[in-house]
Structure 1
């Protein structure tokens, strides 16, 4: 599949120098650098995970010779993608992993490029814009033209206007939609909590509204994931082709890729024929959606622990260790003890005052 050079002390020292004087001799770091099979990495905050990922790519670039197969590096956000790209762009050999046949990008870009957009082109459907905010604004502008929806919104006794206007911006394609005509008429949508089903007049109107948006080429980000699933189900060999193209897939910030996106990536890469390596901190996920299964990434058995942190010292590390609720971790603080320490505790009722409280502490110092 692919080979990783033996990790000699000399090679580790060279990698460290090439990436700005880093030290990659910790056993957990070398475990990740050396592994060529699927694995999970549970990383403490401030442990240098992104630099370690760049070191892995630098190591792979030294003897990656095939021009047809590449490394697939997927992150959740553009910020994380840019951080990785900035590190490897300055490396003498790792920069080649930023071009074909390799891929570095967000999970949405990966799904769009290799699954959803080719599938849409095959259907002959138009794509004008993929954006949640643009979809919401246009869908809310259009819905009064649908008599059923407009009547429900105007009926003061039912008091449904607010609820309808919460549902309409979130009309996601259901992967089980059946309309594959060149001009969609009524597309199955994923029902939200309390939303009427497809068998009702309201449900049919919502499906018709969604179809009109698709006909205009307007999509939500979640629609691309639904289309990606359709592409995989209708073309079972597609996942195998992607594994052949990318024998190694690395998912960075894995804790923030959840629900349908996480399941899709696992369907493609967590199979024989590819190594799927996932790095993240499951205690720091951005999302908590219990309706999505799996709601968030959880490191598997035998995960590689990156327990050290250079962000803070032992006292804060000990306290932070007690907060690792999803994945128990004993964080080791290597940073200096700060001159001043501030912790702001808040709940949903007081979250609005957090920035002001922090600003007051900063002003006092």
Structure 2
């Protein structure tokens, strides 16, 4: 087969623009900027540097809809890879809306995460071909199982070495790894660790990144697999490419680009938003993003130039940032001046109250109902030094905050956390779909923990559809539909009595999915008690009863403010965002004060003589993290910082630049 793509025509772009709800000219040039028009027409291997709010996902979906409407190949398809499940779900949902795009969710195409692709096409079939089952891919559970296999003397030796359970992970197919500090490979302790890793893996329990080990082993032994995948997927799109790790980037380059007959690959991302899930993580060195001269998309349709001017100085890669917002997708009004909330140790608990008051004074009731209002912090989990360096984390502003439930991409640890996360989304979107899939995902998780060999592993159906297919024709199908109706009615917020009533239904469905009559302790522990779930919706007038929301005023709320980490809101658009100072070695925003004042820009150190050099990796990380945070809002950007971080002249300077100041000590 010779693969070719005819050029995209203007009439097709107008059709796709209408399909996206942008009118016929949604991708036309604006003030001489035709970068979006050129991007949608580009069908060559290319990297796209897309600024926050540039509409890259809309552009990608529009391009996919055009290509799907005239795709001629029956055994070769388009591969769309995302970094996160959330991004995958958004693309999947939006392409499914279009009649032509709906074909992309079926063979021969693939829409999924990078991990999902590696599992489905490489690691899982390879392991099973060797007689190794794949029961569960979950780092936390796999490491717990391996740790339980260690004798007490080896656990003690591990602790004495200053190592934790992560020393039981491996990055080579002989079960060894570079994660054991100075522990020599030929020591009895190392042998014990590798034996536990081998035994756990041979039982079918794997850490997420270990699947790349087996995928690479397959490619080592059968290089033709990569050639076959290129024929299957001659056109590849990768979203949020700036977040690809070296592990991900290396294998994708190996599959799609290395050697003869490479696929056409287009990557979308923003170098200034390359933030990772944990401190110390780093990006790709093999085929990093961008490679070569990128195609820039510098115009944001999310926010106006005022917010662009505040945020762009934090970008470590100098980029033109043009604000064409604010977006009118939720509310129709002009943007508001930025606000700085000032506090001290005694008034830190007043910050969210003052933020709520400001929102109520600036937005009318209809806007407060339609908008999305958030408060985020770079560090959102309090540590054992909570009494020092206030504020250290979100908990200093909101003591009832639950950091585990706020992690967007983390696997919930309990049934209740699945439902809690979905109930937060439902509060903002008024859409029950998230609750439906959260319930189904929790049931599948329970079944996996109960010992099911998940036939759905690597599948691309929704969790709800997987459960319906698995229960079809059984008595448990009716039980599931009844439980689903109850969960939607309660918006996932069960009280203690309601949860006790639902538990028999949950266990009946789980038993059918797992084909089990008895459940191991790990599965029983997953069925969290009602104390970790939410109060009933009737009690939701209190800010304490909606998990990780601050509702203001508490007695009769007019606005609900979602609380989270900066990582948890990446990729989102908010009506208003409050960025809270937090602490990692130093207070984040206080350290970034020269950038906030407009005295510094970018990630280069100022030097009196000689060539400027890059700032420390820690400061570069701070800049990227808070660039992400400050580019979320469409209408209102707010910061919260300690009053003693500023002298009077600096506060006057900020006021001159258009900032409003709010004293959180005031009533």
TM class, shorter-length: 0.7 to 0.9
Q: Secondary structure at the match of 2:209?
A: helix
CA apart distance, 1:87:
1.1
Q: How many residues align?
A: 343
Determine helix, strand or coil for the equivalent of 1:273. coil
Name the residue aligned to 2:151. 144
**Mapped contact 2:234–2:264 kept (Cα < 8 A):** yes
Residues 1:294 and 2:285 are matched in the alignment:
yes
1:171, distance to aligned residue in structure 2 (A): 2.8
Partners of 1:96 and 1:347 lie apart in 2 by 40
Cα shift readout 1:196-232 (whole Å, capped 9, x = no counterpart): 1312222111111111111221100111011111111
Query: Which residue in 2 is equivalent to 1:330?
Result: 320
Calculate the aligned-residue CA RMSD, in Å. Answer: 2.8
**Structure 1: which 5+ residue stretches go unaligned?**
178-186
Per the alignment, do residues 359 and 116 of structure 1 end up closer, same or farther by CA in structure 2, a change over 3 Å counting?
A: closer
2:397 to 347, 356, 360: 356
Q: Distance in 2 between matches of 1:150 and 1:354?
A: 33
2:215 is aligned with 1:174: no
1:180 match: none
Q: Distance in 2 between matches of 1:87 and 1:269?
A: 25
Secondary structure at the aligned position of 1:2 is classed as: coil
Matched, 1:266 2:253: yes
Kindly provide the CA deviation profile for residues 103-154 of structure 1, in whole angstroms up to 9, marking residues without a partner as x: 0001111000111011101211122111012112222323235x4x135257
What's the secondary structure of 2:145's corresponding residue?
Answer: helix
**SS of residue in 2 equivalent to 1:72:** strand
**Structure 2 CA distance, aligned partners of 1:74 and 1:331?**
26
TM-score by length of structure 2 reads 0.48
Note the C-alpha offset of 1:355. Answer: 7.8
Question: Residues 135 and 169 of structure 1 are in contact (CA less than 8 Å); yes or no, is this contact kept in structure 2?
Answer: no
TM-score, with structure 1 as normaliser? 0.85
Find out whether 1:257 has 2:248 as its counterpart: no
Q: What does 1:58-73 correspond to in 2, within 5 Å?
A: 58-73=65-80
1:126 aligns with 2:139: no
Please state how far the C-alpha of 1:282 moved relative to its aligned partner: 1.6
Give the equivalent residue in structure 2 for 1:25: 28
Match of 1:183 in 2: none
- Please state whether the residue corresponding to 2:150 is helix, strand or coil: helix
Any conservation in 2 of the 1:250–1:277 contact (CA below 8 Å)?
Answer: yes
Q: Structure 2, unaligned stretches of length 5 or more?
A: 327-333, 342-375, 380-388, 399-577, 581-637, 640-661
Residue by residue, what CA displacement relative to the aligned partner does 1:32-55 show, whole Å, maximum 9, x if unpaired? Answer: 222222110111011111111101
Larger radius of gyration: 2
Equivalent in 95, 98, 104 of residue 105 of structure 2: 98
